[in-house]
Structures are given as structure tokens and as C-alpha cells.
Amino acid sequence: MAIPSSARVIKADSQSDIPVTGRSVGPVFRPVPPDVPDAIDIRGVTFRYGEQVILDSVDFQVGAREIVGLIGPNGGGKSTLLKLVLGLLKPVSGCVQVLGKSPSAAARHIGYVPQFANFVKRFPIRVEDVVLMGRQGRSRHWGPWPRADREAIEAVLEEVDISHLRRRHIDALSGGQLQRVLIARALAAEPRLLLLDEPTASVDSDGERSLFELFHRLANRMSVVVISHDLGFISDYVDRVACLNRQMVIHDTEALTADSIEKLYGDHVHMIHHHH
């Protein structure tokens, strides 16, 4: 079923009677001009690897300056969905639009933080040089980075709270610190859409809370999609939770509380096993 792009909150029928008991973080003020297109508009998308159907008629919209949590079991298709948004994969059928354009046309406005495990940490490079790599698509130059780019990353290093690590080699960082460096690299590109693939996988719970607070703040100026296995945190900081297990079900997070999450998904909020 196609979902109109104006529908920001779509409740799964089985979840629509979950009681609303409030969120720990209030809604942020995010005025969006009426003519701004959805950051992501996916309609009727089916994707296969060979014969294996990974996404089956998926509809998914993310509005301008909306923050959406993407959850689901291992192998449910979350990373695949992000790769379709990035234009790295093409659907077998259906349509993917990003910021009102094709994914490839919108690519320079997308910030992507890949799964931490895929990052080669032993590369001999300093934090600030990794973050400067995020400027690559915005700036053409030979030799040393222009002053404008160096200045642009100052604010980002500060925002992500890693200014003090700028000269450190990345192989001397903790997992949580490196995660922040990768987020800073994505932000250095000044994206309008930020995609984060399990950005809190390698951080402790204090670090996780502070990262989700950052994502929540970032949604004041960009759209954010964050993959996580931790429903407990997600529900405090996002507008909606999208659950992907080959098909998509969307929850209104105002209706999700720790209790309702437990009722829906069991005690193991880190391990989500459910079938639509």
C-alpha cells in the first residue's frame, strides 16, 4: 500500500492502542517550509540478492528534519535499505527518491556513517584528517586543505565533542571515540540527510545516550535515520520507529514506552525477534 508523503505518523494496526505515557525528551522546534520535499520517499520497493527477497514492497517516508529509528532483526534488510537510499543498490521494482531527486543526484547531500566493524582502524591517519575527508565532495583543491575547509570542521569537531582528539591517530582511539570521528566526517559534508548504521554498537550506555542526544539536536537542521538494536534508547529520541523485517512496520514513538516496548518485543530489547 502506498503511503502518502504527507503521512508523518503511521501506526501499525496492532500497536495503535499502546498508551501514551510521555517521552524523556520533548519535541524539538523544527519549522519546515511547506514546499520542502521528503528526505526519503520509498514506494513499493522490492529488492533481491539473487533469488533471496530482502525487501518486499517496502514503503518508507522520512520528512524534512525528522528523526526516525530503524530497527529489526539481524538480516532484516536495514543496511540494504540504506544502500538503496545512497544509490549503491537499485531496486528490482518500486521507486526511491531522496530529497526530491534520484539517489545518485542527491548523494552529495547525504551523510553516511557505515557500520563501525567495516572501518579499517589501522590506517595511519589523524582524527582531523579523517574529518576533513568529509569535505571532499564540497571542495576542490590540490595540496593542503584550504582555510575555509579547516574552519568548517572546527564547528563539527566541537559539536561532536572531539576537538581535544584532533591530533590523535585513529588507532589510538576507543571504539566510542572513533564512532564520533566517523559521525564528524559525515557532518563535515554539511548533509541534509544523515544515515547512521548502528552508530552506538561500540559505546557504553552513557556514550549511547549522549550520541542519541546529539542525533536529536542534529534533527533541528537535517533529517536523520539511525539504525539501532536498542529500542529503549531509540524511543526516547526519535519521532518514529520503523521496524524492518523484509517488510516495514512503522510505530509512532509517542506511543512507545519502555513497558510497551517490552510487551511488543519481549525483555531483550537488544535482541529483536519478530515477524510481521
Shortest Å, Cβ 29 to ligand ATP: 32
Contact letters (x/-) for ligand ATP, 105-144, by CB under 6 A? ----------------------------------------
On whether the CB atoms of residues 199 and 175 are closer than 8 A, the answer is no
Q: Which of left, alpha, beta for 75 (phi over 0: left; psi -120 to 50: alpha)?
A: left
Query: How far apart are the C-alpha atoms of 134 and 195, rounded to whole Å?
Result: 14
**Strand pairing class (93-98; 223-227):** unpaired
Q: Which is nearer to ligand ATP, 71 or 178 (CB)?
A: 71
Query: How far apart are the C-alpha atoms of 114 and 116, rounded to whole Å?
Result: 6
Q: Which is nearer to ligand ATP, 79 or 179 (CB)?
A: 79
Interacting positions 47-66 with ligand ATP (CB under 6 A)? 49, 54
Shortest Å, Cβ 246 to ligand ATP: 9
Q: Which is nearer to ligand ATP, 6 or 74 (CB)?
A: 74
Q: Which is nearer to ligand ATP, 37 or 73 (CB)?
A: 73
Interacting positions 64-93 with ligand ATP (CB under 6 A)? 72, 74-80
Size of the site for ligand ATP (CB under 6 A): 10
In 69-228, which residue ranges form alpha helices assigned H by DSSP?
A: 78-86, 103-106, 127-133, 147-159, 175-188, 205-218
Cell digits of residue 229: 538494536
Query: How far apart are the C-alpha atoms of 37 and 40, rounded to whole Å?
Result: 8
Q: Which is nearer to ligand ATP, 160 or 194 (CB)?
A: 194
Interacting residues with ligand ATP (CB under 6 A): 49, 54, 72, 74-80
